[in-house]
Structure 1
Amino acid sequence: MKKPLISIITIVYNGIDTLKKTIDSIACQDYNGIEYIVVDGRSNDGTIDLIKANQSIISKWVSESDEGLYDAMNKGLDMASGDYVWFINSGDEIYHRYTISQMVDGFGDVFPDVVYGDTVMIDAEGSEIGERRLKPPVNLSWEDFRNGMLVSHQSILVSTKIAAKYNIKYRFSADYEWCLKALKAANSVHNSNQILSRFLDGGLTKQNIVPGLKERFDIMRRNFGLLPTVVRHIPIGLRFLKYVAINRRF
């Protein structure tokens, strides 16, 4: 069976300290069907020189001002020509060099519309600090997102046939809505049963936890209804507090 082309998209702004590890995690893959796209927000710290030095790995790149993270991600979507899009942003990494080949080997005869897996959290030095608080279910559907974003954005691949644009009305939680839309549109959802990414702790959403949660509540309200969303936030909040108390992080 023909192997899919994976469009991996990295968004970066002034990422001279984080981008190299991301590039290296893609460069080392033993899978040939990769289109690597970098969208830079007009960095001024040497990031552009780093991009230019790695053009043998980077298929397409652009450096220009944008209206925020999700506007930049939309630019990446416009540039993608693969069968799937996968966002591995600056500082994040593909889990190991065999990740993509092992994932694709599990597809079977038909390419699924959505592919997902697990995530490991890392610190700025690249050391693993533990698993993500929310775990992906064995069989994922859009309705599972009423319990929060059960799959990290860095560990979900979406077919370009159904991938929508990000709603830039949301500045911190448009990825939650994007994944929800993809799952709603999908005819087939595939659990890779593997860790797909290493996610750099302390990203944009975590740095803006309160406005991000407000946006996510609005998205949940529109998709699941006001009363069910309010009721669902009681156990979500209790689980969150328990996790923070035990792990001293969120």
Structure 2
Amino acid sequence: MKGPIPLRLAILTVVRDDCAGLADTHDSLRGQLGPDIVWLVADGASTDGTAAWLAHHAAVPAWWRSARDSGLYHAMNDALDAACRLGCSHVLFLNAGDRLAADSSKRLLNAIARHPDCALLYGDALERQDDGRILLKRARSHRWASLGMFTHHQAMIYSVSALAGLRFDTGYRIAADYAFTLAVLERGQAVRLHWPVCLFAPGGLSQRDTTTGRREQAAIRRLHLRHGAAQEAAITMAQRVALAVRRFLPAAYAKLRFRCPET
């Protein structure tokens, strides 16, 4: 009988034409990689020098590829498949431009070791503001997942054992990570980590096209949570109010949603 898979965290990065962002992510991993934490990179056939950068730094990622794919979630599935082949026990998706929070690798490994049977661990995120400040965005409880993602995807650590047969649905353009996370929550326990896991790079696709993201989330809730029209109408109204506050009253939104980090 096979024994349990040794604890090994794979940090999975997808990139397309963002060599500077990839280098920034790599910079945040300096001193945090090792036998128990490895980096995997899926590049979507970039034309800005990303493949050359990866070839030059080939000793750093445990696996990388540069090839045409059908988009973000196809690349994430490729990286996830590679992590499974390498025998990794847990995965964390950190896209190009995002950074792993400083000195968090040991804390992540310790948290995984304390909760080896949990399907999902998640923590807070740091966000860089337009004025250069870095603020702390605390995660909501996963029990509020019906309202949307309860923390940044880059602050979630998934157990590979809970992902058997599960991959990102490439039929969604923006919200496949939400459907993926809801499916994982159906498979096991989730644990909240009370510290920041990542420094999130704003300006991603979900922030640029909120309308499509909300529409896809509603379809996902109907599928996974069996929501009816009344529930979705209430959630849509709440999301629109939150978006209006963020857009037209940014100072009030920041006061409600962000905190100054301790360090």
TM-score range, shorter chain: 0.7 to 0.9
Conserved? CA contact 2:183–2:224, under 8 Å? no
SS in 1 for 2:19: coil
Partner of 1:91: 97
Q: Which residue of 2 is the match for residue 194 of structure 1?
A: 195
Residues 123 and 15 of structure 1: CA distance in aligned 2, closer, same or farther (over 3 Å): farther
Structure 1 counterpart of 2:160, one-letter code: T
- Write the mapping of 1:8-23 to structure 2, written as runs, cut at 5 A: 8-23=11-26
CA drift at 1:4: 1.7
Q: Report the equivalent of 2:172.
A: 170
Matching residue of 2:8 = 5
Fraction of identical pairs, as percent? 24
CA distance in 2, matches of 1:19, 1:247: 29
- Equivalent residue for 2:233? 230
1:14-53: CA deviations, max 9, x gaps? 1122111101212321664112110000111111111122
CA contact (8 A) 1:88 1:94 kept: yes
CA 1:3–1:99: 2 relative to 1, 3 Å:
farther
Of 114, 123, 128, the match for 1:117: 123
User: Match of 2:161, SS?
Assistant: coil
CA RMSD for the aligned pairs?
2.3
CA–CA separation in structure 2 for the residues paired with 1:48 and 1:3: 31
Q: Which residue of the partner structure matches residue 184 of structure 1?
A: 186
Q: Give distance in 2, aligned partners of 1:235 and 1:95.
A: 31
Instruction: Indicate if the aligned counterparts of 1:9 and 1:87 stay in contact, CA closer than 8 A.
Output: yes
Q: Deviation per CA, 1:49-84, whole angstroms, max 9, x where unpaired?
A: 111222221100111100111011111111003111
TM-score, normalised relative to structure 2:
0.83
Residues 38 and 76 in structure 1, CA contact (< 8 A), matched pair in contact too? yes
Structure 2 CA distance for partners of 1:93 and 1:146, relative to 1, 3 Å: same
| Equivalences for residues 48-59 of structure 1 within 5 A | 48-59=51-62
1:220 matched residue in structure 2: 221
Please tell me whether the aligned partners of residues 83 and 160 of structure 1 are also in contact (alpha carbons under 8 angstroms).
yes
Tell me the matched-pair count.
Answer: 241
What residue number does 2:208 align with? 207
Paired residues for 1:134-173 under 5 Å:
135-137=138-140, 139-141=141-143, 144-163=144-163, 164-173=166-175
| Alignment partner of 1:106 out of 108, 111, 126 | 111
Quick one: which amino acid aligns to residue 190 of structure 1?
V
The Cα of 1:184 is off from its aligned counterpart by: 1.4
Query: Match for residue 260 of structure 2?
Result: none
* Pair 1:209–1:23, CA change in 2 (3 A): same
Contact 1:74 1:165 in 2 (8 A): yes
Is there any run of 5+ residues in structure 2 with no aligned partner, and where?
255-263
The AA in structure 1 aligned to 2:98 is D
Q: Give the aligned partner of residue 74 of structure 1.
A: 77
Residues 6 and 89, structure 2, Cα contact 8 Å, conserved in 1: no
| CA contact 2:9–2:109 (8 Å) conserved in 1 | no
